[in-house]
């Protein structure tokens, strides 16, 4: 009897905001909230274990490329990724993206040896991604992730180097040459639409939207904002120095200027130096309908300390529905500020405000910070002394 190669599905528990999957007729419950990084990472680890278990005990043998199945390669990579793709000790989401890309690979070719994988089989996967209605860009990203897994296996003696070289000849899907859907460029969102949505947001999320709208900071930087990271030495322009950001692996220090509107919003949140300012736990306490403290504490205990991209986007888009306006995503606020600052102060000012690393200078310097302060003060209508 042929073994079922499909991996168990990630499911939501109907009675809790958590997840489970079916395995051998039983429910296996996962920690954390449904869709959270903690929950998805746990699911990812369990799927890696299942893939290894299905490999007929080969993990106990001395592994060479000729006896390593693709299922073993993927499971080994995902196990490694759980400890590599971390930021401040927490999963970044990259390993989950690797899992999504590799799941069809395991489903279609998991029992085959890595040495038997070919560019033709990678093209079969490419077309499978297209048929699944992924966008053209996402199809290309997933193919590159699969090649990354095979490349990772070379120095670990799980894949022959020649296999990776051949896979790199598979061409990316070109625009206009495929039935894969196209996604338009992310567009700015108008002030009128944002203004219509804010009254329908919980207080904490409304504050997040306002600050992101004024600063253009990335959502991840907003989620981790604490008072201890804010320099308040200049009363007219505070500076937020994120302890973790997109380009910190390049040893780039980043500063985010906080204007008058940001300071007014932050004044409504208690000064707890190391606590997350915009925690979803505050939203739970403010929006839960029961007044029974024990139930409130129980609900808060099940809630993540930080928002993530999914929970933040969902909160905004639910408010869009209530406001009766087209749905937009928080990242569009960054594009809105970029367009505005480029129009009023030029490309250099927009680069400094948004934290884009200069192509030649990979460190923020005094000039960058002073330029940011100047732009913020001009936008707030503040005149420097002596002007």
268 three-state secondary structure: coil
The verdict on residue 29 lying in a domain is yes
Whether residues 300 and 155 share a domain: the answer is: no
Cα–Cα distance between 333 and 337 in angstroms, integer?
6
- Would you state the pLDDT for residue 227? 94
Whether residues 245 and 141 share a domain: the answer is: no
Q: Which H/E stretch holds residue 37?
A: helix 37-53
Please report, for the domain that includes residue 297, its CATH number.
Answer: 1.10.443.10
The verdict on residue 180 lying in a domain is no
- Would you state the pLDDT for residue 252? 59
Whether residues 201 and 153 share a domain: the answer is: no
- Would you state the pLDDT for residue 357? 53
pLDDT digits (tens, 9 = 90+) for 291-311: 778 787 888 888 888 898 889
* Unique residue bearing structure tokens 């499911």: 11
- Would you state the pLDDT for residue 56? 43
Whether residues 40 and 145 share a domain: the answer is: yes
Cα–Cα distance between 159 and 116 in angstroms, integer?
10
- Would you state the pLDDT for residue 77? 92
- What are 380's two structure tokens? 């707030």
From 134, 167, 200, the end of a domain falls on: 167
Please tell me the total count of domains within the chain: 2
Q: Which H/E stretch holds residue 20?
A: strand 19-23
- Would you state the pLDDT for residue 360? 33
Whether residues 307 and 345 share a domain: the answer is: yes
279 three-state secondary structure: coil
- Would you state the pLDDT for residue 248? 53
The verdict on residue 107 lying in a domain is yes
From 132, 167, 202, the end of a domain falls on: 167
The verdict on residue 254 lying in a domain is yes
Whether residues 28 and 160 share a domain: the answer is: yes
Query: Which domain, by its residues, includes 45?
Result: 16-167
- What are 194's two structure tokens? 């944002």
- In 3-state terms the chain splits into helix, strand, coil percentages (rounded to 5) of 55, 5, 40
- Would you state the pLDDT for residue 247? 53
Whether residues 200 and 349 share a domain: the answer is: yes
User: pLDDT 10s per residue in the chain (387 long)?
Assistant: 344 557 788 999 887 788 999 887 888 888 888 888 778 877 877 776 676 666 545 444 444 555 688 988 998 898 899 889 887 777 778 888 999 899 899 889 988 999 999 999 999 999 999 998 899 999 999 999 999 999 999 998 899 999 999 999 999 999 988 888 888 777 889 999 999 999 999 999 999 999 999 999 999 899 999 999 999 999 999 999 987 655 554 455 688 999 999 999 999 998 787 889 999 998 888 888 667 787 878 888 888 888 988 899 999 999 999 999 999 999 999 989 888 888 888 888 877 778 765 543 344 455 677 787 888 888 887 655 444
- Would you state the pLDDT for residue 166? 96
**Degrees, nearest 5: CA angle 41-47-48:** 90
Whether residues 108 and 195 share a domain: the answer is: no
Cα–Cα distance between 82 and 41 in angstroms, integer?
7
The verdict on residue 339 lying in a domain is yes
The verdict on residue 10 lying in a domain is no
pTM: predicted TM-score of the whole model, two decimal places: 0.64
From 133, 167, 201, the end of a domain falls on: 167
Whether residues 221 and 362 share a domain: the answer is: yes
Cα 345 to Cα 2, 212, 217, 339: the distances in Å are 65, 19, 18, 10
- What are 191's two structure tokens? 């002030």
The verdict on residue 196 lying in a domain is yes
Whether residues 161 and 292 share a domain: the answer is: no
Cα–Cα distance between 79 and 48 in angstroms, integer?
7
Q: Which residues sit opposite 30 in a β-bridge?
A: 19
The verdict on residue 225 lying in a domain is yes
Whether residues 62 and 137 share a domain: the answer is: yes
Whether residues 132 and 219 share a domain: the answer is: no
Cα–Cα distance between 307 and 208 in angstroms, integer?
10
């Amino acid at each position: 009897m042929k073994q079922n190669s499909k991996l168990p599905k990630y499911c939501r528990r109907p009675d809790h905001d958590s997840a489970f999957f079916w395995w051998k007729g039983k429910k296996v419950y996962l920690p954390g909230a449904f869709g959270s990084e903690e929950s998805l990472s746990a699911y990812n680890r369990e799927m890696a274990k299942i893939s290894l278990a299905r490999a007929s005990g080969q993990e106990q043998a001395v592994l060479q490329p000729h006896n390593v199945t693709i299922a073993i390669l993927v499971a080994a990579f995902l196990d490694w990724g759980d400890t590599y793709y971390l930021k401040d000790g927490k999963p970044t989401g990259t390993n989950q993206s690797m899992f999504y890309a590799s799941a069809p690979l395991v489903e279609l070719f998991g029992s085959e040896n890595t040495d038997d994988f070919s560019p033709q089989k990678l093209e079969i996967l490419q077309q499978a991604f297209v048929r699944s209605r992924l966008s053209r860009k996402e199809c290309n990203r997933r193919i590159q992730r699969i090649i990354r897994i095979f490349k990772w296996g070379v120095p670990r003696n799980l894949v022959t180097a020649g296999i990776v070289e051949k896979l790199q000849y598979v061409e990316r899907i070109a625009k206009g040459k495929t039935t894969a859907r196209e996604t338009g460029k992310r567009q700015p969102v108008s002030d009128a639409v944002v203004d219509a949505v804010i009254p329908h947001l919980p207080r904490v999320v409304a504050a997040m939207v306002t600050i992101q709208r004024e600063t253009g900071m990335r959502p991840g930087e907003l989620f981790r904002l604490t008072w201890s990271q804010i320099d308040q030495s200049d009363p007219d322009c505070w500076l937020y120095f994120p302890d973790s950001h997109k380009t910190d692996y390049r040893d780039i220090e980043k500063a985010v200027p906080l204007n008058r509107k940001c300071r007014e919003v932050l004044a409504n949140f208690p000064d707890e130096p190391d606590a997350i300012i915009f925690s979803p736990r505050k939203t739970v306490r403010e929006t839960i309908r029961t007044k029974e403290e024990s139930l409130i504490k129980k609900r808060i205990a099940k809630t993540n300390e930080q928002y993530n991209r999914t929970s933040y986007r969902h909160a905004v888009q639910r408010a869009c529905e209530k406001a009766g306006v087209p749905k937009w995503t928080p990242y569009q606020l960054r594009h809105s500020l970029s367009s505005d600052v480029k129009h009023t102060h030029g490309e250099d000012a927009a680069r400094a405000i948004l934290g884009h690393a200069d192509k030649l200078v990979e460190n923020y310097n005094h000039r960058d910070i002073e330029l940011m302060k100047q732009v913020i003060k001009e936008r707030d209508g503040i005149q420097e002394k002596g002007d």
